[in-house]
Chains A and B, each alone.
Chain A
Amino acid sequence: MINSHLPVLQVLLPLIAAPLCVILRQSVLSWLFATLICFLSFIISCVLFNQVLESGVISYALGGWLSPWGIEYRLDKLTAFMLLIINGVAAIVLLGARESIADEISSDRLYLFYTAFLLNLTGVLGVIMTGDAFNLFVFIEIASLSSYAMISIGNDRRCLYAAFKYLIFGTIGASFILISVGLLYAVTGTLNMVDIFQRLPDVENTKTLTTALVFFVVGIGIKAAIFPLHLWLPDAYSYSPSIVSTFLAGTTTKVFVYVLIRFIYSVFGYETVFVQEAMSHVLMILACAGILYGSYLAIQQDSLKRLLAYSSVAQLGYMLLGISLATEAGLAAGLIHVFNHAIIKVALFLSVIIIIFYTKTDSISKLAGLAKTMPLLMLSFLIGGLSLIGVPLTAGFVSKWFLIKASFENGYWGLVVVIVFSSVLAIIYIWKFIEVAYFKEPDKVVIAIDGNQKTPYLLLFSLFVFVIANVYFGLDSSLNVDMANAIAQDFYLDFVVQ
């Protein structure tokens, strides 16, 4: 009985839990409660993943109103895959969050952070699950509003301005998506994604459809921080409380990449996006520009969080590059990188959190000689960094390998050069910190590290989970690669007319 209602429970669970956190008030209690909810949510997503693998697409009619009248939650392999990534990141990050959060947020606001976190999780999961275009907009706004709140909750006053900037950008982006949904509704008379897809051939080659597509791509471009619409991202990531940047880097932007894939293939359709509008070239140029620009700016940063933020802009370029190839192999490569980048970036951000926890700074120049006092932590950062660069035996290598393979198959030699060159840039910005930490004499900040300070065991545990995941998925990538290939295959069978 409960099994058939799991799709709606997945979204409702964190939504119901969020206000309960406000009632709990006490910070440790609300942390325990929120973590418990996240793990429950993770278990639900595992069960759903199994169900989808066994029985194919699951369609859930909300409140018993059948689609296309009611709102439909639709689970296919891609949905299940994304749910697993998001819930996994959320649960493990929140498990280690308490120590770092208590450091960076004043204690009377802690329970509000957990509330915002659960609301954000609701929004993000809803965006993934929903099969209704307008419902998607509502969930996007739930996710965004709670992330503005999470960013502005910190003690650093710069985070307020970053949050406001993100709010302005994000609202314009969401409004563009709303316009796009409105125009789609105007030409098709329906909001159900499956229905829109089926009715679009009747209105092919109309200006309205083109306008809807352009509004959508620009709107989602702002939300996913696709170059050149990424301006909110560096500030939002570097000034917000570290746990928030970790969570946002691991989930939010990934989800918007998912929405882009979902709309390109199963709403607008391959034919409209790639054949008629030649969207693939636009996306490809933006992806390459983003990769190079993000890597270049990452090199110039002194703040570790800001460095990782710019590197995120570059890595988003890789995902977009995979999608823009408009082939099955390209889509699979993009999805593999969505998974791998989540574990790479979270591992790196978590090590930076621990560095900040001990030294209260994330400025590279002040962290000379860190490896001597914290060898294990630096090793974790090193593994994460190697994975980001794409060294063999790490997860990052797998995604770059498939991306290069997909580019070769299409005959895009230039893209291979861009990917290899940006890997060199990644070596430079990771090396910048590695050199300072390993080969310089300890500086006063590092010497001043208090050895008696309480060790954040849970935070270390979260970090090691992601570091081990980086190595594991580098050695045995069958799980994520097979899944991504199966998703791409399904998409091309179901949505692309051969």
Chain B
Amino acid sequence: MDFLGLFNYWVVVILMMVGLYIVIAHKNLVKKLIGINIFQTSIFILFISMGKVTGGTAPILSEANPVYSSPLPHVLILTAIVVGISTTALGLAIVIRIYHAYGTVEDDEIQRELSD
């Protein structure tokens, strides 16, 4: 097992699990959103690190530097970041409305309010 060769994937998996753990374990809705964000960031890193070519430069064709990293993943992730931001924004907006409606953003307290 080439641990160092797969270094980027280890980072991705650890970040992903940290994010998922926060989403599942934390009762606070804002913290859940933070968890989702970390989770999504790990996927961004997965994509971007995938496009790296050793010794590659920015994708500008020139005689001096014939090797360049793949630009496509960067472009995809730019779109994915926008999607992620919209999700976070919408999530926070819903959390604000939840706070107005229930007076709390703690999962268990909302559940208690709902069952009353």
List A residues at the B interface (Cβ < 8 Å): 134, 137-138, 141, 145, 148-149, 152, 157-158, 160-161, 163-164, 167-168, 171-172, 174-175, 178-179, 182, 185-186
Contacts and interface: CB of A to CB of B under 8 A. Distances in A.
A152 B87 contact: no
B83 interface: yes
Contact of B36 (A145, A172, A179): A172
Contacts, number: 67
A145 B95 CA distance: 15
B80 A145 contact: no
**Which are the 5 A-B pairs with shortest beta-carbon distances?**
A157-B101, A141-B83, A160-B98, A164-B94, A182-B47
Contacts of B98: 160-161, 164
Contacts of B76: 134
A145 B110 contact: no
Contacts of B110: 161
Contact of B95 (A134, A164, A185): A164
Nearest to B32: A168
B61 interface: no
Contacts of B23: 168, 172
Given A145-B86, A149-B90, A175 B46 contact: no
Nearest to B95: A164
Contact of A179 (B32, B46, B73): B46
A145 B87 contact: yes
A171 B36 contact: yes
A149 B50 CA distance: 34
B112 to A, nearest CB: 12
Contacts of A167: 87, 90-91, 94
Given A148-B90, A161-B110, A164-B95, A178 B32 contact: no
A167 B91 CA distance: 7
Contact of A164 (B47, B72, B91): B91
6 contacts: A148-B90, A160-B98, A161-B102, A179-B43, A185-B72, A185-B73
Interface in B22-47: 23, 29, 32, 36, 39-40, 43, 46-47
